[in-house]
Amino acid sequence: MKLWQSENSMDKDIEEYTVGNDCLCDQSLVEYDCIASIAHAGLLLKMKIITLLEHKRLVSGLNEIIRLNAAGKFKITRKDEDVHTKIENWLTKNHGTAGKKIHTLRSRNDQVLTALRLYSKDGLAQVKEQAHDLIETLGKFAKKTKGIAMPGYTHMQRAMPSSIALWAGAFEESLKADIEILEMAIWANDENPLGSGAGYGLPVKIDKSVTTKGLGFSRHFSNPLYVQNTRQKVELATLFSLLQVMLTLNKLASDLMLFTTKEFGFFSLPKSMCTGSSIMPQKRNYDALEILRGNLGAVSGNFYAVLACASNLPSGYNRDAQLGKARLMESLDIALKSLKIARKIIMNIEVNRAALKAANSEGLYAAQRAIKMSLEGVPFRDAYKIVSKSCQ
Amino acid sequence: MKLWQSENSMDKDIEEYTVGNDCLCDQSLVEYDCIASIAHAGLLLKMKIITLLEHKRLVSGLNEIIRLNAAGKFKITRKDEDVHTKIENWLTKNHGTAGKKIHTLRSRNDQVLTALRLYSKDGLAQVKEQAHDLIETLGKFAKKTKGIAMPGYTHMQRAMPSSIALWAGAFEESLKADIEILEMAIWANDENPLGSGAGYGLPVKIDKSVTTKGLGFSRHFSNPLYVQNTRQKVELATLFSLLQVMLTLNKLASDLMLFTTKEFGFFSLPKSMCTGSSIMPQKRNYDALEILRGNLGAVSGNFYAVLACASNLPSGYNRDAQLGKARLMESLDIALKSLKIARKIIMNIEVNRAALKAANSEGLYAAQRAIKMSLEGVPFRDAYKIVSKSCQ
Amino acid sequence: MKLWQSENSMDKDIEEYTVGNDCLCDQSLVEYDCIASIAHAGLLLKMKIITLLEHKRLVSGLNEIIRLNAAGKFKITRKDEDVHTKIENWLTKNHGTAGKKIHTLRSRNDQVLTALRLYSKDGLAQVKEQAHDLIETLGKFAKKTKGIAMPGYTHMQRAMPSSIALWAGAFEESLKADIEILEMAIWANDENPLGSGAGYGLPVKIDKSVTTKGLGFSRHFSNPLYVQNTRQKVELATLFSLLQVMLTLNKLASDLMLFTTKEFGFFSLPKSMCTGSSIMPQKRNYDALEILRGNLGAVSGNFYAVLACASNLPSGYNRDAQLGKARLMESLDIALKSLKIARKIIMNIEVNRAALKAANSEGLYAAQRAIKMSLEGVPFRDAYKIVSKSCQ
Amino acid sequence: MKLWQSENSMDKDIEEYTVGNDCLCDQSLVEYDCIASIAHAGLLLKMKIITLLEHKRLVSGLNEIIRLNAAGKFKITRKDEDVHTKIENWLTKNHGTAGKKIHTLRSRNDQVLTALRLYSKDGLAQVKEQAHDLIETLGKFAKKTKGIAMPGYTHMQRAMPSSIALWAGAFEESLKADIEILEMAIWANDENPLGSGAGYGLPVKIDKSVTTKGLGFSRHFSNPLYVQNTRQKVELATLFSLLQVMLTLNKLASDLMLFTTKEFGFFSLPKSMCTGSSIMPQKRNYDALEILRGNLGAVSGNFYAVLACASNLPSGYNRDAQLGKARLMESLDIALKSLKIARKIIMNIEVNRAALKAANSEGLYAAQRAIKMSLEGVPFRDAYKIVSKSCQ
């Protein structure tokens, strides 16, 4: 039964349409919601709204839920409405009055924000770690291939002499910049929403630092409506930081798709990392690279879905926000898995030195010849024209 | 084991990353893929590639799979790779040589396109039917509320006299136009891709009309590469037609959210169709309307994901296309459910005549007064100015 | 002075922010707005709201504006507010009472819709014509290159034997399908909005067929609010049809960018169609192809801008719609120019037969060998495995 | 004539299509490109590539261009190709050999990045300043309306007691968070690209700190290919920060559109800030609010155009990037003007105390009554049920 119902009388179609698959997402929030509730119980104890005994029961109940959930035994179904309702009902059933008190000075509005921010902070930290690992792998790859020349391209045409190491280094740098954006997203999530209630605060003063410290937030909110209004803005900050990571990986995958064609032939991957064709016996396809490349589109779509659901709506909680939850979670998952697979791919690249040597064509050095002349006193534009003629 | 493998040696991480959750989508394609395979078996029989007995075994095998699937007993898992591999393997295991022959003159590339188009045609037909039902419901609602005035708004300000019937009628017309766009999307899907193989045709002439008639397509393709290149273009046509429907429903929901505010107060919904608040005992929220409104954002995001995965890629099958499958299916599902719920909502609107009467303010009639004067000979712009002064 | 003002007292900042660059777009609407006004004057005459003489003066005045505009002498500035105001003021100044009567039974809301639909219909017709021309050019190119083999690619890897003609034919077919979508967009625009007024109709019955016939619309609206509500839906239909065209051209350009790399080397363009580098004297870049490819992104962004401005808004005219005007016009222009340039490019492709011959490698024929065996009685899957072994 | 041309022989259509309206954008870059060239001349002097006299001529020439440009006398036309070519040609024409030397150790690729980053940093700084000003204005408005109650809404329904000050404060906080994101975007732009050349560095070691200090960048790049690869990633960071600002303003405008309806009636704006209707004499429309709201859609579309042009492309400069320039510039302009207009609007809000008082309905206090009971010992869930019954 829902928290706000005196009797279970909700229209079934409306219920199904409204909840949708949200209960699947909420399963991923169980642990975070319990951790947040433990911190909130600490506040209620401090304010003497619950007794020491009730506090003990709530904390042990919530830890029990975390254990049950880890064991796959705390399943949220559509009729539970959401994770918050399910947990309160479980606590009330198993711990009586203590359960009935846990929602004091709290709304599901600040509760879901808290769980989502804890979830996002965790996810972003993992993405950051994977980004660091990929940087390390790229560094090793650059070292391993040190000195191997590769053409540098502009407009997809051979342009200037480059090297595998320079190419790999570009992605190291790109990921370092991405990590800075991930930090920005972590910062955006790092504000404690507890105490904002339904978006208009509480009729009694509370010590926000209790839950802020307890949950490891670096700051607490100062205007309760602001907190609600930024639900999707913060989600977009998270998604944007993931987009930056995916843009880096998309370019990596686009390059590799080109470099592994028969025509370029610079790189290949071992057979165990390729797929075949159901009809063409000779094929070796790089499907993982294509999925890596395509996942930028997936995260882009998720970004837009959240943006669209946030546009042109007035202040205060609007249920449309729920639709971003699955997209946020999927995007964190995609970024994490994509970084891992990119690392595995880089570790297994087989370099075809002969093809790279053959590609190291004369024309690549034209600019260097002009620049050399310019250093010897010929005005650059004149040097350019002299070399240009010799290229025709 | 995959069709293209001599031994099962694929890297587990690569396999997991590449297949992802695609097997969940493929579950929805089992029936369509079997139907398409039955038609294809007809071609193989006609071309004497399979015997009459082999044809019989294939047809009965495929029908058996349809039955098993309907009973939830034909589960595609990640290690099956995809629906096509699973079905061929099952046929070979249960029907020997006949199974080994089913993939003659076919590629998974034309196979997946066929299944997706049959799936989309079916889904779009259902959406059309639901749109017709909603039109009917709106018509009944207009009839029921005949004669009840309601202000007409521009710029969200009261503008001119209108009525509930006029308002409801606007959505009837909008859905009628949407149905035309749905027809366009059905047309886009209504081309038989079988025989295009991997995108470069077959080394032997086939009679394409066998499968075209067998599967109810209205035409067959004429250039095999074109067929592959339009995978995402056709998906976008489907998604665009759903976007049009969702735009209609988004405006309907946006209006209803406004008309059910305390301040407008024109309409309300019965309590059984509302949700409550976990903290505010007095609340009656219209969450279903918000999800109806928000689902435009969800479909918009899906449209963008497919568009992004299609951009800047060369001709021929690219695996990135796989990522559109889940988004296409989700969008068809959203549109279908949204039309149904909109209908239920319209059927249950409670009209507050008093509020509507009170809103029927004097100012609404200013333009009519000016127009009336203009019909009596005063140049309209002069009439406008006379009435304008009287309004200040 | 604005039509609705008794004195020119509008805040300058607000005026500038509201009008923005809309007056630039309105310049392109002058002719269409005059044509629509001439048709409207016909209605006013029929209804005896204006005299025969007034009708004559209006028609000659409006034709004069068309002439002035063609000569660049009818400039809309920010203080004119918009094209409709400018024209009415000009008529009143030059033709007195007749001008004051032109706005009878009309609102700028139905007027701008009419002008935009006439503009879009015209633009779409031109796009269609250019698409036909490009189809013809591709056909000639296919004929000219008849018999020249080219590898067919899947997953960007060589897959099966193909030909330049097959490749070019894929784009012919794609454009034919695009033309069907363009027809749908023309259909969407082909509804006469005149008589819907501000969105709530008129207090007097009019004969809508007068302007419908006069302006060449194939049908007239039946619900005035619906007409207003579809402003952006119809614009999106136009933009979607252009997106389809741009998707075709994007793939064409993506292929050509690949085929003109040094590594593929199948095609090149004459020097007069390439750009150079400011620093690398040897470079020959295919910038026009890159812009052709990138313009899909431009039209995609325009589509999203209009979609975003339409989301989550209630019924009736909302000024946000104005922001789509520039994006609609730019997109029509991009599609038109892109089709033209694509044609010029196709006409000038230089084919490198030697590179194509060298690319026609053995492996491309593996599937054909397996299929041939299958036609001779070996079950296809067995044939596949036999050929597969020989490829390793 | 272009820098890379020996004779002016470029196909006119190709030239027009490739350059498009880019020369209009480049006009805005003249000053930034000159400033960057002055810094670069400093490097050339230090490296003794130019003489002290040549340096003097270049610096005075570039300053002259800045002056000419400020006076509208340095017009870039399509045949000038771009700002960089125009400036070099002008310098060569007016200062001979010095002009021919300015492009030594530089490519237009690093040059355009430098100009765009300087432009963006400047624009973002202005946006930040305007955001600060709006915060101040909101603070004053909150002070001025201190103590005036306003209902707080969730799901667009009256929820809990709030106040104008709380509402305004939410936007102050939102802008403060936006400023942090703007700082992130400034950081992203704050890296000196000079010395990266065409994306593959220079064949001679340079002291990057000369231009880094000279141009006020906080750091210089370390991998030249990375610099090119981040062109659009950095533009997206800029656009994302503007999106955050526009999301804040979109919500502000959405609230105001609601609060200024006849039905809510909480606020109004003076007549000088409203527009009228061409047909309805009584209308007072809030067009500026609608444009403010709609401009989120415009910036969203621009974000997507840049993202789409960046997707699925390989490393190194691709001309598609050019298409983002106009969208970046337009977005900075929109954000700047929108913040200014929002401020003017806030300063002019007229508060309707009577309507606000009437809206302060009993139901708003239900949660507070339940919370109060819970503080007195009744378990919250029981208190909720008790109050709930009294509300029915």
Contact at CB, C277 and A159, closer than 8 angstroms: yes
Residue A276 pLDDT class (50, 70, 90 cuts): confident
Annotated catalytic residue B277: yes
Number of alpha carbons in the 13 Å side-chain half-sphere of residue D56? 3
Annotated catalytic residue D155: yes
Residue A236 has pLDDT above 70, yes or no: yes
Non-local CB neighbours of A286 within 8 Å, separated by 6+ positions: A256, A257, A260, A269, A273, A274, C155, C156, C157
> Who among A106, A302, A341 is closest to B17 (CB)?
A341
Question: In terms of CA atoms, which chain B residue is nearest residue D161?
Answer: B280
Three-class secondary structure of residue A362 per DSSP: helix
Instruction: Report d(CA C132, CA C126) in Å as an integer.
Output: 10
pLDDT recorded at residue C45: 97
pLDDT in tens, C339-370: 999 999 999 999 999 999 999 988 899 999 99
Contact at CB, B367 and D286, closer than 8 angstroms: no
**Phi, psi (5° rounding) for residue B63?**
-65, -35
Closest approach of A283 to chain C, Cα-based (Å): 7
List B277, B315, B361, B388, catalytic entry: B277
Residue C6 has pLDDT above 70, yes or no: no
Specify whether the CB–CB gap between B379 and C57 falls below 8 A.
no
List C60, C209, C222, C277, catalytic entry: C277
CA angle, B94 then B96 then B98, to 5°: 105
Q: Which DSSP state fits D321?
A: G
Beta-bridged to residue A192, according to DSSP, are A220
Q: How many CB atoms lie within 10 A of CB D205?
A: 9
Residue D17 has pLDDT above 60, yes or no: yes
Instruction: Report d(CA A366, CA C282) in Å as an integer.
Output: 6
pLDDT recorded at residue D1: 63
Mean pLDDT of C107-125: 97
> Who among C257, C280, C370 is closest to A159 (CB)?
C280
Neighbours of chain A (3+ CB pairs under 8 A): B, C, D
Instruction: Report d(CA A240, CA A250) in Å as an integer.
Output: 15
Contact at CB, A257 and C285, closer than 8 angstroms: no
Instruction: Name the percent of chain B lying above pLDDT 90.
Output: 89
Specify whether the CB–CB gap between D132 and D71 falls below 8 A.
no
Instruction: Report d(CA A365, CA C1) in Å as an integer.
Output: 65
Concatenated DSSP letters for A126-191?
A: HHHHHHHHHHHHHHHHHHHTTT-EEEEEETTEEEEEEEHHHHHHHHHHHHHHHHHHHHHHHHHH-E
pLDDT recorded at residue B392: 67
Query: What ipTM, to 2 d.p.?
Result: 0.96
Q: Which residues in chain D have their CB less than 8 angstroms from residue C304's CB?
A: 297, 300-301, 304
pLDDT recorded at residue D7: 57
Contact at CB, A281 and C312, closer than 8 angstroms: no
Q: Which residues in chain B have their CB less than 8 angstroms from residue D359's CB?
A: 262-263
H or E element, residue C168: helix C164-189
Closest approach of C246 to chain B, Cα-based (Å): 10
Q: Which residues in chain B have their CB less than 8 angstroms from residue C368's CB?
A: 203
Q: What is the CA radius of gyration of chain C?
A: 28
pLDDT recorded at residue B7: 57
Mean pLDDT over each residue of chain C, to the nearest integer: 95
Three-state SS annotation for B333-384: HHHHHHHHHHHHHHHHCEECHHHHHHHCCHHHHHHHHHHHHHHCCCCHHHHH
Q: Which residues of A are catalytic?
A: 155, 277
Closest approach of D74 to chain C, Cα-based (Å): 21
Q: Which residues in chain C have their CB less than 8 angstroms from residue D2's CB?
A: 275-276
Residue A6 pLDDT class (50, 70, 90 cuts): low
pLDDT recorded at residue C281: 86
pLDDT recorded at residue A278: 83
Specify whether the CB–CB gap between A276 and B107 falls below 8 A.
no
Query: Which burial class, exposed, middle or buried, applies to C202 when counting CB atoms under 10 A from its CB (0-12, 13-18, 19+)?
Result: buried
User: Residue written as tokens 């296409």?
Assistant: B328
Tokens of B256: 């209803």
Q: How many CB atoms lie within 10 A of CB B348?
A: 15
Residue D2 has pLDDT above 80, yes or no: no
Residue C7 pLDDT class (50, 70, 90 cuts): low
Query: Which burial class, exposed, middle or buried, applies to D103 when counting CB atoms under 10 A from its CB (0-12, 13-18, 19+)?
Result: buried
CA B329 to chain centre: 8
Non-local CB neighbours of B318 within 8 Å, separated by 6+ positions: A290, A294, C154, C155, C156
Neighbours of chain B (3+ CB pairs under 8 A): A, C, D
pLDDT in tens, A321-370: 999 999 999 999 999 999 999 999 999 999 999 999 999 988 899 999 99
Q: Which residues in chain D have their CB less than 8 angstroms from residue B161's CB?
A: none
Output the CA–CA distances (angstroms, integers) from residue A47 to A195, B135, C32, D374, D377, in the order listed: 13, 56, 71, 12, 12
Task: Mutate one of A91, A173, A204 to test the D interface: name it (highest D CB count within 10 A).
Answer: A173
Mean pLDDT of B175-202: 97
Specify whether the CB–CB gap between D5 and C285 falls below 8 A.
no
pLDDT recorded at residue B53: 96
Closest approach of A370 to chain C, Cα-based (Å): 8
Question: In terms of CA atoms, which chain B residue is nearest residue C160?
Answer: B200
**What is the maximum span of chain B, computed from C-alpha positions, in angstroms?**
91
Q: Which residues in chain D have their CB less than 8 angstroms from residue A203's CB?
A: 368, 371-372
> Who among D155, D282, D359 is closest to B366 (CB)?
D282
Q: How many CB atoms lie within 10 A of CB B70?
A: 11
Specify whether the CB–CB gap between A258 and B86 falls below 8 A.
no
List D6, D9, D155, D311, catalytic entry: D155
Question: In terms of CA atoms, which chain B residue is nearest residue C103?
Answer: B380
CA B26 to chain centre: 17
> Who among D281, D370, D391 is closest to B366 (CB)?
D281
Whether the pTM exceeds 0.95: the reply is yes
How large is the angle between the packed helices D287-310 and B287-310, nearest 10 degrees?
A: 40
Mean pLDDT of B265-287: 91
Non-local CB neighbours of D130 within 8 Å, separated by 6+ positions: D336, D339, D340, D343
> Who among D283, D311, D391 is closest to B157 (CB)?
D283
Closest approach of A109 to chain B, Cα-based (Å): 9
Non-local CB neighbours of A242 within 8 Å, separated by 6+ positions: A127, A185, A299, A331, A332, A334, A335
Instruction: Report d(CA A245, CA A249) in Å as an integer.
Output: 6
Contact at CB, B107 and A277, closer than 8 angstroms: yes
Which domains does chain C show, CATH number per domain? 12-101 (1.10.275.10), 108-359 (1.20.200.10), 362-391 (no CATH)
Specify whether the CB–CB gap between D99 and D88 falls below 8 A.
yes
Specify whether the CB–CB gap between A153 and D314 falls below 8 A.
yes
pLDDT in tens, C144-199: 999 999 999 999 999 999 999 999 999 999 999 999 999 999 999 999 999 999 99
Handedness of CA C373, C378, C380, C384 (dihedral sign): negative
Instruction: Report d(CA C215, CA D190) in Å as an integer.
Output: 56
User: Residue written as tokens 């094209």?
Assistant: C83
pLDDT in tens, C29-55: 999 999 999 999 999 999 999 999 999
> Who among A166, A222, A389 is closest to D223 (CB)?
A166
List D209, D222, D277, D361, catalytic entry: D277
Residue D88 has pLDDT above 60, yes or no: yes
Contact at CB, C10 and D272, closer than 8 angstroms: yes
pLDDT in tens, B248-268: 999 999 999 999 999 999 999
H or E element, residue B193: none
pLDDT recorded at residue A280: 85
Contact at CB, C363 and A312, closer than 8 angstroms: no
Instruction: Report d(CA B183, CA C55) in Å as an integer.
Output: 43
Which stretches of chain C are assigned E, i.e. beta strand? Answer: 149-154, 157-163, 191-192, 219-220, 267-268, 350-351
Instruction: Report d(CA C348, CA B237) in Å as an integer.
Output: 32
Closest approach of C379 to chain A, Cα-based (Å): 13
Q: Which residues in chain D have their CB less than 8 angstroms from residue C271's CB?
A: 9
> Who among C280, C286, C387 is closest to A366 (CB)?
C280
Instruction: Report d(CA D318, CA B123) in Å as an integer.
Output: 40
Q: What is the CA radius of gyration of chain D?
A: 28
Closest approach of C290 to chain A, Cα-based (Å): 8
Concatenated DSSP letters for A214-228?
A: HHT-SEE-S-HHHHH
Q: Which residues in chain B have their CB less than 8 angstroms from residue C108's CB?
A: none
H or E element, residue A100: helix A97-101
Instruction: Name the percent of chain A lying above pLDDT 90.
Output: 89
